[in-house]
Amino acid sequence: MKKTNQNTMKNLFPYLILVVVIFAVLTVLSIGRNITHELTTGELMKEMQSKNVTELTITPSGEESVYYIGGKLSNYKDNEEFTATVIEAEMDNIVKYAESQNLKVYKTNPDPGSISWLYVIVNVVPLLVLVGATYFIFMKMANSNKGSMDFGKSRAKLSADGGKVRFKDVAGLKEEKEEVAELIDFLKNPKKFQKLGARIPKGVLLVGPPGTGKTLLAKAVAGEANVPFYFISGSDFVELFVGVGASRVRDMFKEAKRNAPCLIFIDEIDAVGRQRGSGIGGGHDEREQTLNQLLTEMDGFGANEGIIIIAATNRPDVLDPALLRPGRFDRQVTVNLPDTEEREAILKVHAKDKILSPTVNLKSISQRTSGFSGADLENLMNEAALLAVRKDEDAITLQDIDEATDRVLMGPAKKSRKVSDEIKWLTAVHESGHAVLGLKLKDAMEVQKITIVPRGMAGGYTAYTPKEDNITRYTKNEMIAIITSTLGGRAAEELFLDDITTGASDDFRRSTEMARSMVTEYGMSDLGPIRYESTSGENVFLGRDYNKTKNYSDQIALEIDQEARKIIIECYENAKKILKENKDLVMLLSNTLIERETITKEQIDQLVRTGEITEEEFEISDEPTLTKLREEAKSLKIKGYSKMTKEELEDSIEEAEKK
């Protein structure tokens, strides 16, 4: 609202300046205007005889034997003067009186045209200046803020050629592309569909988490079809002024009809398409008017042949049902997070303009970035490139990508933070407890990395990835295993340390939420297959859910708490049992973390198999000589050799041999 008010004041400012200029010019003209009294020749002579004349100006009129006499009388104010027309015969008497009274007599230029030019300068020039200033202000306003008064005009921007994005530029989304491919066929050859009486969907709603490529997919559709492409945000419809949104919708469809066939893309349509009449937080007269106009334009009395609307949102639950019915948004296309193959394809797209080290394998990275969206992967590669530039490297290494992954997930490492040896040991034991349970539980997720380097609010963390990519459902055993491994940190603290810490608070939150969901949503307890509560963490749609009452008694509430507590306690006791049986592995991982601070999946597997980490090449690489270089560096006792690149190892070995 504040920004809208600022824009309104900016639009009205030129008009305010114009009013000030007009007022100033009129004021100057009124101040400089003199009061003129017309005197006859007799009256003039009488005033001169009475010695009332103080100034006298004589000007030839341009006509033969006629003069204009001007001047001031003694009783005149500063802005008063007199004029008189005198023939040449009377001029001698006037001159004599003036000489006898020692009056100031001014004789103007005898040029007959001087009077007319003076009139032009005094009366016409100010008007010309005023007109010129007005024209300048209006032109300036038009150039700097085009359409400042066109509040009802559509804000949709037109791309005449559909843009340069094509399907080849959109990695992954194979099924989603197939869903929208027929839109392209219709825009290119509508007669093929009309021949069989088929009706193409009027609207396609792209639904999915942020960053999954909904906007990019819409651009690709327009690019492939090579048709005019209008794009606008849902928030661009609603303004300060009432009725503006509906007017903009009408204007947008009016323009689209002129350029049909064409595409209209509305990003974040939930800004204007929220459910009507939902009470607190959902009702807004201006937004509802805009939505009503959009509904009418999409499927009302008027026909919009050749116009296809694509909209995107990550909140389909708040959209009005009338917007989603057949005839408006006929089809919903869910754009999910990419799987392993799609992530690899996306990484290849974002790696085209980057120099990667031969040690980097994009397939391996895609396997370790489960849950990343396309935007996350683009950010990951960009962060890795920035890290490589900071280190003054010639190419992006796997270490850069690993560090970038941690930065995206947890934030930058707190390398400057001083951590005591005692805190390091506490953190190492805590994270080792998580890792051991992840390794020993059959249904647990795979442990990818353990680190005790502080990042964000965490003193360390253990990274997991699902055994099956993009898993959308869990079994009861898998959920029990997740809760058990989540509680492993506190269990390890209780078993192997003299005290417990607050580091497990977030673990308790996540495990409690999952245990309660098992009881109230998934029917995985003795209370039976009954849904008692909505999805935990679900955003409340104010007005529709705000006054919702619980649909179970106080007795059931007590039983829910008891069942959730039962799951937590059983998992915690099982965690302690497994950790007691694998105390040596917990201590081995903890000591290794103190030494290295970070250990990867390959190193963890080697510790489990052999009890130590040999300097093998864990990176997927095309350079078999790297392992030999590290073995040589180890024999020369070069510090930090395990983290060095091939070039760094060669330089370090050369320097060590010289010494």
C-beta of residue 51 within 8 angstroms of C-beta of residue 101: yes
Name the one residue in this structure whose structure tokens are 């290295």.
Answer: 596
Alpha helix positions (H), 464-553 = 476-486, 488-496, 505-520
Contacts of 87 (CB under 8 A, 6+ apart): 41, 65, 66, 67
Of 316, 344, 348, nearest to 329 by C-alpha is 316
Give ∠ CA 424-425-431 in degrees, rounded to 5: 90
Of 154, 156, 151, 180, nearest to 167 by C-alpha is 180
Q: Are strands 598-600 and 446-451 parallel, antiparallel or unpaired?
A: antiparallel
C-beta of residue 438 within 8 angstroms of C-beta of residue 397: no
CA 382 to chain centre: 18
C-beta of residue 398 within 8 angstroms of C-beta of residue 360: yes
C-beta of residue 232 within 8 angstroms of C-beta of residue 197: no
Catalytic residue chosen out of the listed positions 176, 344, 431, 478: 431
Token pair, residue 323, equals: 């917007």
User: Rounded distance, CA 509 to CA 266, Å?
Assistant: 38
User: Rounded distance, CA 26 to CA 19, Å?
Assistant: 11
Contacts of 351 (CB under 8 A, 6+ apart): 362, 381
C-beta of residue 359 within 8 angstroms of C-beta of residue 398: yes
Name the one residue in this structure whose structure tokens are 């009488």.
Answer: 46
Q: Are strands 157-159 and 229-233 parallel, antiparallel or unpaired?
A: antiparallel
User: Rounded distance, CA 599 to CA 659, Å?
Assistant: 32
Residue 182 annotated in active site: no
Token pair, residue 353, equals: 């303009």
Q: Are strands 53-60 and 229-233 parallel, antiparallel or unpaired?
A: unpaired
Give the residue numbers annotated as catalytic, written as ranges: 431
